[in-house]
Structure 1
């Protein structure tokens, strides 16, 4: 797999670290857990999100997303960064709410945040686990726990106070990881188009394919822009902006992978080729914390009923302009 250049020093270092180490060792090499309590600092926040972007590029398997999602609760609990990772609730049409862990979470405690009931921290050995086999080289585990009658570690009032921030950070982190996976596969497709020949010419010289890859690159640039803006406004984001970031990342990431697949042609459909791994990572992350289809529908309904300016305004556009 060819490395694609990055324009951020920490993200480039994270790409190298995640290529050399597995799981927690990669995060430890970056002192990533030590950065989480400093998310109000611009450089620390950029580094935290940059590591998730690198994770997507390298298809690394770490508990970074769950750690970022749990961090606001961890601060309230006074626990050490990295000692707790959050399980993600997703709705199954057949089974109702299902709790999912992503990444190699090892023996960390698990946070279950239930709106209306508060947040519970459960020891790793006290939950049932079902490994889910998915492509994309990311560990996915469904966890089962009986929270009925259990006293929450964070009652509803304090849990509710940080719930929106946790969701925002989680969506921002997932969007960055989608970005990394999408731009890596688009870079691979671009390199392939430069060496694969048809009719005695590299296929990248054909206008139709050049347009296709340009659109795929534009999809990635749009996600990059919205993720960077999400980092800029993270202290006081506009209403529902985390959902906007995640919706754009999911939609554009999927679209970029589809376009890259067309550039690869038949080889891209084979199990031997890496395309399906990146595409699967994007599809998996799109399904968590609200899919692009779900969020787009919900945001559209909200705009219709709230009267909010759909241009989504000044606070976002002006962020970081000073």
Structure 2
């Protein structure tokens, strides 16, 4: 049984202790300008806007200033919002962060930690977190598609070309296997992962690109299906994808940046914080490793070739 390398939690513990020692419970009193936060929703069923309000209230209380939280319509709009200064803090998918970083619009202060999954069973590993994940290609459990080459001529549901697991990584690795999804398959861009899986389940699509653990995360949205019985992982990307970045605009004041960082580091310790983190299935935060995000650039180039 092969397991991904997991975080020990040591870095987060040390950082949190240091932040608390240096800053205590100090909160900013600068309320002149509301702090603008944006994230990309994991699904578009309308529920995320309502859930974003408690998150805004939580941040407002912790930072001592008004905080507005908005939802990005897609991966590119959060990049544009950071670049134009319309957003101060972005909870950014990895490929979107790299784009914003490379144009000087964003700087990661933290990287999220997610549940680690057993690569053979697809089930969560209790008590184990990871700073990376993989992309999955899902097919129906009874599908005659057994290998990547079997996807030739098939219909595939994908996310935005800016999505690491929903497009970039599976496309790049399919090309390495000798299949160009853009010419050898029929790619359809879908708004969110539950819609992708629904399209496969009802036979509209033969396969879909999702993130590792998607069946576990979205199981509750499918009352008529057992995602672990009705869908099968055809392929798990070899490449590891860095988790979401907690990024701030490059012009942010250093004191405020450290306050924001401390708030996110403390979230796992508080019930309200854990509720906020559940918006993105985050379980914790650690120092961002820029070199890990550089792999996104390599894969993006392969996918675009």
- The TM-score normalised by the length of structure 2 is 0.26
- The TM-score normalised by the length of structure 1 is 0.25
More strand by share: 2
More helix by share: 1
